[in-house]
Structure 1
Amino acid sequence: MQVESSEAFRKDGWRGRLSRFMPEAPKAFSVLSQGYGPGPLSRDLLSGITVGIVALPLAMAFAIASGASPAQGLVTAIVAGFIISFLGGSRFQIGGPTGAFVVIIYGTIAKYGMDGLLVATLLAGAMLMLFGLCRMGALIKFIPYPVTTGFTAGIGLLIFTQQMKDFLGLRMDKASPEFFASWEAYYANIGTMDQSTLIISGVTLVTIFCVRRWIPRIPAPFVAVVLASVLTAVYALPVDTIGSRFGGIPRTLPGFAMPHITLDLVREVFPAAVTIALLAGIESLLSAIVADGMTGDHHNSNTELVAQGLANIASVAMGGIPATGAIARTATNIKAGAFSPVSGMIHALFLVAFVYLLAPLASYIPLASLAGVLVVVAYDMSEPHRFKRLFKAPKSDVVVMLLTFGLTVVVDLTVAVWVGVVLASLLFMRRMSELTGIRRTLEFGSEGEAELLPKELHPDTNELDVPDGVEVYEIDGPFFFGCADRLNAIVRAMHKPPKVLILRMRHVPAIDATAVNSIEALHDKCKKRHVTIVLSGVRTQPMATLKRLGADKLFGQENITVNILQALDRAREIIASEPRPRGMMTSIAGPGPEAA
């Protein structure tokens, strides 16, 4: 056995070993194994350079807005971007720093310092890998749409707020991470606004919108930043630049260095780590879904999550910040004609070339121009049309969206995500419980029920032949803890107890432990009143649950029937074999109200 393992190890090579570690083979491996020639390479080369040009100003802008250095943004785009393309589950995914992280990174650095952010990112990377290895990729996609709309709109507003200092050229201390405190400080320092800075910001905005409108194939942020940098240098405008504030960008990549980790720091940053992991998972899978919709390809969510986790861990090891799949850059990659994940790797290599060959040029980039780029990003993230459209949705969805939005802006993104998900889940359970009804019935049922019966048992009429002393109630819909207490309505509806109570469960696709406990409680109440419960039409999942919890023994196998006709036959047997105790009525008074 040992020999076979060693032979397989040598035969598969490093690619085979990596594939076995991942939930499924990375897309790069599966695509390249089908053949790769000069044609696909030329497509990937062109698209990779195009995306690299787009990513260059965005990586630096997102890092600066997050409270990090522009060099950290570039390192993140290089390291994480390469790994996400190399090991990811999406054919066209482009990874790197994104706007979704700006708020949480900024707050984490302000509270715990850079080491706190790096430790939180390490934890988030480990969580993402665990999510993928445990096949949880599909679960993350169940984050409700009103929650994602609310927090992305809130993030957009916060990014816009944080850029106002550099956008307007205000002479003030570093802006507060708090929304209202920031605007109070801006108002107090509005008189220090710099005209040159405002001109550069305005030129950036106008250039982006004009390029988008008339030359959409050209990367608008890159054109805007280059134009603003040229104007700043030619006219010697007195504005802050990357060189004046950060001293430029190193011409080499940093070495391997892990942050100092302590148990106390891990405990403190754990909530932020959970938020980073959730945001990275959500945004990367949303980006992969967008790519699938544009190309007809199909991504593997679990492999993508493992790659995202590895990318974030590697980014921290090189001094970078959190990364995830970037929707806009991924879409640009596809529109530029990408063929395979090699395009994303070339995008990372392009950024490496910039660092080693052209890093001094970055010193001339005005911060007002990067602030202008992020103002546009903030607008794109907030998606006002989607936000406005959700006001036409059910009120519960509107409440979830507004609460998530408000908590993101005023309190904290971590709190907003948790509260939004919990509230949306509670509202979902309420809606599901509303779909499940319990009612008294005298009808045989639809043709769907008849199909479950042998032909010789088909009734000639749609009305049940219910003998005296028997009541029939039907549960319609999934029976779980959200509606289990409705069984009490059956007992309340019985002014005088019947001899047999039949519960029809033909329309119950699933049942949980709380509902089983509720049925058992109903059984105990009925037993005290000398009422026998007969279950009818129990389906596969409910029957399996009853057996696992031992409830089938409580009712007795003879009282769990396949269909309503067998249940009525069983009821007649009970009535015939067990005489009613003296003084007990043989029927209920009147039909009784329907149970809600």
Structure 2
Amino acid sequence: MIKINTTNIRGDLTGGLTAGIVALPLALALGVASGLGPMAGLYGAIAVGFFASLFGGTPSQISGPTGPMVVVLAGLFASLSGDAELIFTAVLLAGIFQILFGILGVGQYIRLVPYPVISGFMSGIGAIIIILQLGRLMGHEPPGGTLGALSYLPTALADINFTTLALGIGTLLIAYKWPAALGKFVPGALAALIIGTLASLMLTNVPILGDIPTGLPSLHMPVFEQGQIFLVVEAAFILAVLGAIDSLLTSLVADNMTRTRHDSNRELVGQGIGNTVAGLIGGIAGAGATMRTVVNIRSGGKDRISGMTHALVLLAIVLGLSPLAAQIPHAVLAGILVKVGLDIIDWGYLRRAHTGPRWDFALMVLVLGLTVFVDLITAVGVGVVLAALAYVRQVAQLQIEEVNKIPEYLADEEENALLERAQGKVSLFSFGGPLSFGAAADLGHHVREKVKPGSQVLILDFSRVPVVDVSAAMAVETITADATAGGRELVISGASPAVTKVLDNINVHQPNVRMFATRLEALDCALRIIEDRKKTNPVSGNGKLAEA
């Protein structure tokens, strides 16, 4: 049930108004960068901003077009030769995917993406945004795609329009250096937009946005073409995942500032509804926007009304001020977008990277490179897989270290007394933590190496193991086979019902393998086995089994 909190109405209206003003130049710039035009940016900001606030799980969050989403859209625009209807279909499908993510509870897993991966692809996205704007700063319209924009740079450098370059750099400087005192009244990005546009009126040969339609958007029903359906669905999925990650990261920022806790899955549903509506009305995809959310909170916004107000402010601008927006130069928007790109790059981590683990930094650089030169989903997929494998390796090393620690003395006096009575004929291995496939490959080898030469009984203690997987169970079966081949008895102790079930299913718990609830019982059983062997096989003076 949607609950609208009106206890902070004044702060929410102020925050929403301020966020709407900040969002205006960014929505226009990101709309142009996507290839779909400035109005698509505004329509996307209105739809996602309003419905994500109304239905989402982070009351103070402001949503709208963001750099990462626009990078995907720009690539799709180039791949589909500018077919707007197919792109809006991808936006709509992305919204549906996000709604499904929320219903299925995927939000809790998206938040598990490792920081170096997030840092790498966010920095890569920032680099892409900057690369795509370099040609526009020099007065050119480069071809779509990062590689296309990079290959076009020599051409642009050979024919620089110094008027547009000066205008773009001036806009960038204003956005960065705008005094904080004035920023309380007019945000830096908006000031840069206004000043840059006014300055361009006194200049010639400066490309501008041109005619922008005024009024309410038209309905865009989804279109499916057999030859392009895979490309559209793939882009929709990338948009959905990227938007989910972007939104939930912004939600964490909002939580830290407001001392609240967001609902991840509800937030995904809200974002999904917003993007679905955006696709229907011809808007670009959006997500939780960190800068706009921070501006909203600092201006007093705390609840849903602030995000909805921000969207209504943009709607009012669309209905009345479109003719003025037509005079905005491309170079001015390029300058604003360069700032957006620079802000997205994770400078904080890059400055401290040399003090942290080298592997994490290498992973970040790899993901950054894949983001810029391959594609986002490959970058995130490879990054997550490598990070997961590195984590599994670390855990496996800890598990193997535990295996290698054969206790010479046990803390429990009764257990220790039984171990001493065994006189080296019992090898005890105590596993620690979840026993996973990461350790399974070397488990049998390490146990085989550490078994005492004169051991007659092998005890595997699972007291500290909450779960095992199939790979670990198969490794235990290998240990069982080795023990049988070496003439040793195998005893398992401390296995929980969950662990016992897995071992039974893999047939590790064979009839000749004894299982006990405690280590004390296992040691007692081991001594009985040794005594029985003494009776049936007399030993020689050197303690070795006598030859028959």
Aligned partners of 1:499 and 1:586 also within 8 Å: no
Give yes or no for the alignment of 1:156 onto 2:148.
no
Aligned partners of 1:103 and 1:413 also within 8 Å: no
With the length of structure 2 as denominator, give the TM-score of the two structures.
Answer: 0.91
Give yes or no for the alignment of 1:531 onto 2:498.
no
Aligned partners of 1:503 and 1:535 also within 8 Å: yes
Give yes or no for the alignment of 1:509 onto 2:466.
yes
1:209 matched to which residue of 2?
176
Give yes or no for the alignment of 1:404 onto 2:362.
no
Q: Are residues 224 and 540 of structure 1, via their aligned partners in 2, closer, same or farther at CA, if it must alter by over 3 Å? A: farther
1:79 matched to which residue of 2?
47
Deviation at 1:545, TM superposition (A): 3.7
Q: Are residues 497 and 107 of structure 1, via their aligned partners in 2, closer, same or farther at CA, if it must alter by over 3 Å? A: farther
Aligned partners of 1:97 and 1:321 also within 8 Å: yes
2:165 matched to which residue of 1?
198
Deviation at 1:182, TM superposition (A): 2.4
Deviation at 1:44, TM superposition (A): 1.6
Letter in 2 for 1:200: L
Deviation at 1:387, TM superposition (A): 2.1
- Among residues 220, 228, 238, which one is paired with 1:257 in the alignment? 220
1:300 matched to which residue of 2?
263
Report the Cα distance in structure 2 between the residues aligned to 1:52 and 1:190, rounded to whole angstroms: 36
Letter in 2 for 1:154: G
2:326 matched to which residue of 1?
363
Deviation at 1:507, TM superposition (A): 2.9
Q: Which aligned pairs between 1:529-568 and structure 2 lie closer than 5 A?
A: 529-539=486-496, 541-546=498-503, 551-552=508-509, 559-568=514-523
Aligned partners of 1:85 and 1:95 also within 8 Å: yes
Report the Cα distance in structure 1 between the residues aligned to 2:300 and 2:143, rounded to whole angstroms: 41
Deviation at 1:384, TM superposition (A): 2.1
Deviation at 1:416, TM superposition (A): 1.1
Report the Cα distance in structure 1 between the residues aligned to 2:150 and 2:480, rounded to whole angstroms: 63
Q: Are residues 377 and 315 of structure 1, via their aligned partners in 2, closer, same or farther at CA, if it must alter by over 3 Å? A: same
Aligned partners of 1:155 and 1:378 also within 8 Å: yes
2:273 matched to which residue of 1?
310
Letter in 1 for 2:258: T
1:481 matched to which residue of 2?
437
Aligned partners of 2:40 and 2:283 also within 8 Å: yes
1:575 matched to which residue of 2?
530
Aligned partners of 2:405 and 2:429 also within 8 Å: yes
Q: Are residues 587 and 551 of structure 1, via their aligned partners in 2, closer, same or farther at CA, if it must alter by over 3 Å? A: farther
Aligned partners of 2:427 and 2:451 also within 8 Å: no
Q: Are residues 461 and 332 of structure 1, via their aligned partners in 2, closer, same or farther at CA, if it must alter by over 3 Å? A: farther
Higher relative contact order (CA 8 A, sep 6+): 2
Report the Cα distance in structure 2 between the residues aligned to 1:575 and 1:59, rounded to whole angstroms: 79
- Among residues 401, 408, 412, which one is paired with 1:443 in the alignment? 408
SS in 2 for 1:380: helix
Deviation at 1:154, TM superposition (A): 1.0
- Among residues 510, 517, 520, which one is paired with 2:477 in the alignment? 520
Deviation at 1:168, TM superposition (A): 2.1
After superposition, the C-alpha distances for 1:237-291 in whole angstroms (9 at most, x for unaligned) are 4311111xxx22x211222222311455332333333321221111100001100
Aligned partners of 1:509 and 1:539 also within 8 Å: yes
Report the Cα distance in structure 1 between the residues aligned to 2:67 and 2:173, rounded to whole angstroms: 21
2:113 matched to which residue of 1?
143
SS in 2 for 1:404: helix
2:89 matched to which residue of 1?
119
Deviation at 1:175, TM superposition (A): 2.8
After superposition, the C-alpha distances for 1:68-109 in whole angstroms (9 at most, x for unaligned) are 211100000011111000000001111111011222111111
Report the Cα distance in structure 2 between the residues aligned to 1:412 and 1:552, rounded to whole angstroms: 48
2:76 matched to which residue of 1?
108
Report the Cα distance in structure 1 between the residues aligned to 2:365 and 2:543, rounded to whole angstroms: 50
SS in 1 for 2:437: coil
The CA RMSD over aligned residues, in Å, is 2.6
Q: Are residues 483 and 147 of structure 1, via their aligned partners in 2, closer, same or farther at CA, if it must alter by over 3 Å? A: same
In the alignment of these two chains, the number of paired residues is: 538
Greater mean deviation of Cα atoms: 504-513 or 83-92: 504-513
Give yes or no for the alignment of 1:328 onto 2:284.
no
Aligned partners of 1:108 and 1:116 also within 8 Å: no
Structure 1: which 4+ aligned runs deviate by more than 4 Å? 457-465, 492-497, 547-556, 578-589
Structure 2's unaligned 5+ residue stretches are none
Greater mean deviation of Cα atoms: 110-119 or 355-364: 110-119
2:231 matched to which residue of 1?
268
**Percent identity between the aligned chains?**
33
Greater mean deviation of Cα atoms: 286-295 or 543-552: 543-552
Report the Cα distance in structure 2 between the residues aligned to 1:49 and 1:240, rounded to whole angstroms: 30
Q: Are residues 263 and 434 of structure 1, via their aligned partners in 2, closer, same or farther at CA, if it must alter by over 3 Å? A: farther
- Among residues 246, 249, 253, which one is paired with 1:283 in the alignment? 246
Report the Cα distance in structure 2 between the residues aligned to 1:79 and 1:224, rounded to whole angstroms: 25
Letter in 1 for 2:306: S
Deviation at 1:570, TM superposition (A): 1.1
Letter in 2 for 1:403: L
